[in-house]
Structures are given as C-alpha cells and as structure tokens.
Amino acid sequence: MLDTAFPEVLMPHRYIKIAVTSAVLVLAFAGLLWSTLREGTEYYKDIKEVLPQRQAWEGKPLRLHGYVVPNSILRKPNSLEYRFKVQNDPPRLSRPPASEIVEASYEGIVPDTFKDEAEVTLQGRLTPSGFAVDRNGVVAKCPSKYEAASQSPGS
C-alpha cells in the first residue's frame, strides 16, 4: 500500500517564522528610512548650480556655498538683521555679472569670521527675493594662515 495520505512538508514552521519576521523588519526599516529622508533631505549646492534652475530650487532646503561680495554686508542699526550678497567664486579671482549673485537675508548673530570676501555656507531656502537664511545658518570658513608664498625672481 502506498503512503500518500500526507505529503512531506518541505519547509518547517521555524523557517516560515524566520522569513516572516525578517520581512517585517526589512519593511519597517525601509519605511522608517523613507519617512526620515523624505522630510530631512537638504541639498549642498554652489551658486552656479542653483541659479540656472532657480525656480526649481525655490522653497527647498539648501546649503548654499559661495563667497561674500566685497562691500555688500548691510546691517540694520540696533538689530541683528543682515543683508549681503554672495557669489560663486572668490572675489579676488573674478567679478561675476549681477545675474550670478544671490542676495541673502539673515537675522541672528554672525560668526567672527563673517566679513567681505569670506567663504560661507548658508543654510536656508531660496525665495523669489533672494536666499532666506535660517537661524544659525551662516557658517564662515576661517581664513588659512598658510597662503601659498609667491615665488621671487631670485629663488
């Protein structure tokens, strides 16, 4: 007589439990990662990358890298409101057209190193009127103590 009443189970219950638990954990991790990145994504861009597609970047959280345009820092008297302009390349290397300069507004305490020609990273959002910098959103790079020495003709 043939013994065909019950076919052999190929996967024991223990393996099924492990597979279901693993699938639940992977889905939970993927959902957590997606929800975190969806809200917290912030782009780090140079001015030359943002300005050609200005409208596409408006309203998105950005970290904008550039250099303070000389003689552009304006401070409202008796307040912490600043307006200044930022360009892509160091001012001593080039003088860009006005279409390649971003006007920025900031309210708060600026770092000691924030001055004309300073290399800055601004955190905030691009608006139709310029770049609105978040609180504590101005980071100015410290100038290097070690500049490349110019070669003298006799050396």
Scan for tokens 């006007």, then name that residue: 103
CA 66 to CA 51: how far, in whole Å?
12
Condensed to tens digits (0 to 9), the pLDDT of residues 17-60 reads: 888 999 999 999 998 888 877 766 778 899 999 988 888 898 88
Condensed to tens digits (0 to 9), the pLDDT of residues 78-114 reads: 999 999 999 988 877 777 777 789 999 999 999 999 9
Helix, strand, coil: what percent of the chain each, to 5?
25, 30, 40
CA 99 to CA 51: how far, in whole Å?
8
List the domain boundaries for the chain: 11-41, 42-140
CATH class, domain 42-140, is: mainly beta
